Structure 1
Amino acid sequence: MSVWITYAPWGESLAELTEAARQAERAGAEVVWAPEMHRSATISAAALAAGTESSMIGTAVTLAFTRSPMITALEAMDIDELSNGRFILGLGTGVRGVNENWHNVRWESPVPHLRETVSVIRQIVANSHRGEPMQYQGECEHLRIVGYQRPAPPVRTSIPIYLGGVGPAMTRLAGRIADGWISHELCSPLALRETALPALEQGLTQAGRTRRDLEVVVSAVCSIDDDPATARRWAAGGVGFYATVRSYADFFALHGLGEDQQRIVDRFAQGDVTSSYLGDYVSDRMIDQLTLTGTAEQVRQRLAEYEGLADAVKLSPPTHGLPPEVIRQAQQRLIAAIASWS
């Protein structure tokens, strides 16, 4: 298989999360990823860095605007030191409501703001050990540091930065400035081919870069069981969760699933169902088109559809609406499948 297999581990505790990452590393996962939702992505990544030996460690994704670029750069250098140069800084904007309501940070011009954030982080990583002034004046970000010097050089003066993006403008930005792009959790080969890759190519062309300058990472909910129907139902909750977001209407319509999504939107809006039980209203065809489910062999065949389109696939076990014991079962079957594909 020419597509790299990477993994987003799950755990109720940091210890369980780290153990799952170790198992995935032994199974052959090239990267283990830490998200930012119920835990801090950077703290989780630090735990994974200390608990693994050879796999790359990435954040998928760290929220870019809820920390200062200085703090993000320092955390990136610390994790890179813990991992001996194995860290990938995945950055994303999040949505407006999360920024303003959860984190009390401003939401303005997200595309130029992220571009400037990346520039400042790269400047700090490259120069913070030199003791020289560091300055940046942009539309959204301002930096003026004098008389500051880290006591030792970083492990690397350039840490890879991947950008998460859904819309065309943010995806083009990844093509222009990033070392890699990380997709939305539901990214079919169709969506990758029809929407994401053209935007990435536009960004690459604008910057005078080529496809070889960018790693394309597809994210996928992956549910494996000897009974395909069981695997399909485990994955249903994640699809239902994303289907409640009205702004994804074009995405679902692209797959001929507009009516399926609207039924879920209507039920959710009427209060008929909470986000924990949306899987009951997700059709099998939604699951089949937007997730990787089935037996290990069936999923391996589905993964082959990304060859020639993506460089890596980030697999994650199903979690939405499932009790911990079921998530653990799904995770163990997924890690076993990764080992069988290696």
Structure 2
Amino acid sequence: MLRLEFQPWGETMAELIDATRRAEAAGAVAAWAPELHRNALVTATAIASQTNLLVGTGISLAFATSPMLTALAAMDLDDLSGGRFRLGLGSGVRRLNADWHGAAFDPPVKRLRETIAVIRKVWAGGDPILHDGTAVSIDVRGWRRPYAGGATPIYLAGVGPAMVALAGEVADGWLSHELCPPSVLRESVLPALGRSGRRVDVVVSACCSVDASSAVARRRAAGVVGFYASVSSYASLFAAAGFAAEQEAVVAARRTGIPADRLGHLVPDEMAAAFTLCGTSQEVALAVKAYDGLADAVKLSAPTHGLAPDEIRAAQDSLIELIRELS
């Protein structure tokens, strides 16, 4: 059965926790803490301490901190949550790593593979803890964890075929990009995940906009589509769905200086509907059902790009009510 999972939003941590509690009461089985405006591990700690949900980082940037610190934080969260924690990792993009965090990025697939290997060696313990990699190395002597822990599932976020294949090879689960229609999952992702012959938990991330008016719901969702359409490297994704010209218009507008989260007006309703779950509750329920048999879970989040806080709150309240209806 398709699990319903939740990515909360809040201007304050108290508001975020309140939304997560309401989603739990509505029937969500897990909550994921993103890393952009907040620290994912801190947010996950707050969620774990205030709910009984499964909790994960969706995602924590794998290269922005040392593998050992990530391993320790995961062990602490595993302990705090009583085994409810899932470590979601992703590479991010080169510019984000370099400009925001001063972190090395290349080669991303090899670096992420070795980062995971180091994390698992720290979890396994022993003395010394050694990994002599070409991208990541560690040499820890005279250290022992004072208590057990560290069997945490690792989920990898991946878009390109090499990163998706890595998730299938070394991870316990895979997290999708926020724009992942069922056709992309079926035709591109699942074949790449299945190359290793291992079974991984498939979690689709989906921007979900629900309103009594389909038009209102689609306009709210258009902002997130416009945000990602402004990135030229997503050209193949939009072209495959028949929206190459629309994406080119968004990219051109972005180059004139329009902020990336203010491009929703260039996204037609058909494009918003192709890449998000938007519409009335009945329409969105059908869109969610389209993932049944392809994914194990759908992680639902309210639209935020280009919206005022009160609009985001209204969208999130409608999303929580949808979870109640679907549960």
Deviation at 1:312, TM superposition (A): 0.6
Look up the SS of the partner of 1:222 in the other structure: strand
Cα distance in 2 for partners of 1:80, 1:24 equals 22
Q: Contact between 1:191 and 1:254, CA under 8 Å: does it hold in 2?
A: no
- Matched AA of 2:30: V
1:159 aligns with 2:158: no
Deviation at 1:114, TM superposition (A): 0.3
Cα distance in 2 for partners of 1:277, 1:98 equals 20
Give 1:143's match in structure 2, choosing from 134, 138, 142.
Answer: 138
Cα distance in 2 for partners of 1:308, 1:143 equals 41
Cα distance in 2 for partners of 1:270, 1:145 equals 50
Look up the SS of the partner of 1:306 in the other structure: coil
Moved over 4 A (4+): none
1:339 aligns with 324
1:15 aligns with 14
- Matched AA of 2:97: N
Give 1:288's match in structure 2, choosing from 273, 278, 282.
Answer: 273
Deviation at 1:126, TM superposition (A): 2.2
Q: Contact between 2:110 and 2:135, CA under 8 Å: does it hold in 1?
A: yes
- Matched AA of 1:180: G
Residues 83-106 of structure 1: CA deviation (Å, up to 9, x unaligned): 111000000000000011111111
2:215 aligns with 229
Cα distance in 2 for partners of 1:276, 1:301 equals 28
Cα distance in 1 for partners of 2:288, 2:145 equals 44
2:41 aligns with 42
1:191 aligns with 2:184: yes
1:313 aligns with 2:298: yes
1:90 aligns with 88
Cα distance in 2 for partners of 1:264, 1:133 equals 52
Look up the SS of the partner of 2:300 in the other structure: strand
Deviation at 1:133, TM superposition (A): 1.7
1:255 aligns with 241
Deviation at 1:215, TM superposition (A): 0.4
What percentage of aligned pairs have identical amino acids? 50
1:267 aligns with 2:253: yes
- Matched AA of 1:59: T
Look up the SS of the partner of 2:290 in the other structure: helix
Look up the SS of the partner of 1:287 in the other structure: helix
Deviation at 1:142, TM superposition (A): 1.0
1:124 aligns with 122
- Matched AA of 2:70: T
Cα distance in 1 for partners of 2:124, 2:326 equals 38
- Matched AA of 1:103: H
Cα distance in 1 for partners of 2:60, 2:209 equals 25
Cα distance in 2 for partners of 1:82, 1:336 equals 29
Residues 297-327 of structure 1: CA deviation (Å, up to 9, x unaligned): 2111111111111111111000001011110
Look up the SS of the partner of 1:249 in the other structure: helix
Q: Contact between 1:3 and 1:311, CA under 8 Å: does it hold in 2?
A: yes
Question: What residue ranges of structure 2 are gaps of 5+ in the alignment?
Answer: none
Cα distance in 2 for partners of 1:222, 1:4 equals 15
Q: TM-score normalised to the size of structure 2?
A: 0.98
1:4 aligns with 3
Deviation at 1:275, TM superposition (A): 2.0
Deviation at 1:136, TM superposition (A): 1.0
Q: Contact between 1:6 and 1:30, CA under 8 Å: does it hold in 2?
A: yes
Look up the SS of the partner of 1:299 in the other structure: helix
1:214 aligns with 2:200: yes
Deviation at 1:276, TM superposition (A): 3.1
Cα distance in 2 for partners of 1:22, 1:170 equals 33
Give 2:162's match in structure 1, choosing from 169, 178, 190.
Answer: 169
1:24 aligns with 2:19: no
1:325 aligns with 310
Q: TM-score normalised to the size of structure 1?
A: 0.94
Deviation at 1:46, TM superposition (A): 0.5
Q: Contact between 2:223 and 2:261, CA under 8 Å: does it hold in 1?
A: yes
Deviation at 1:270, TM superposition (A): 2.2
Q: Contact between 2:226 and 2:261, CA under 8 Å: does it hold in 1?
A: no
Cα distance in 2 for partners of 1:83, 1:187 equals 30
Cα distance in 2 for partners of 1:338, 1:119 equals 36
Q: Contact between 2:64 and 2:101, CA under 8 Å: does it hold in 1?
A: yes
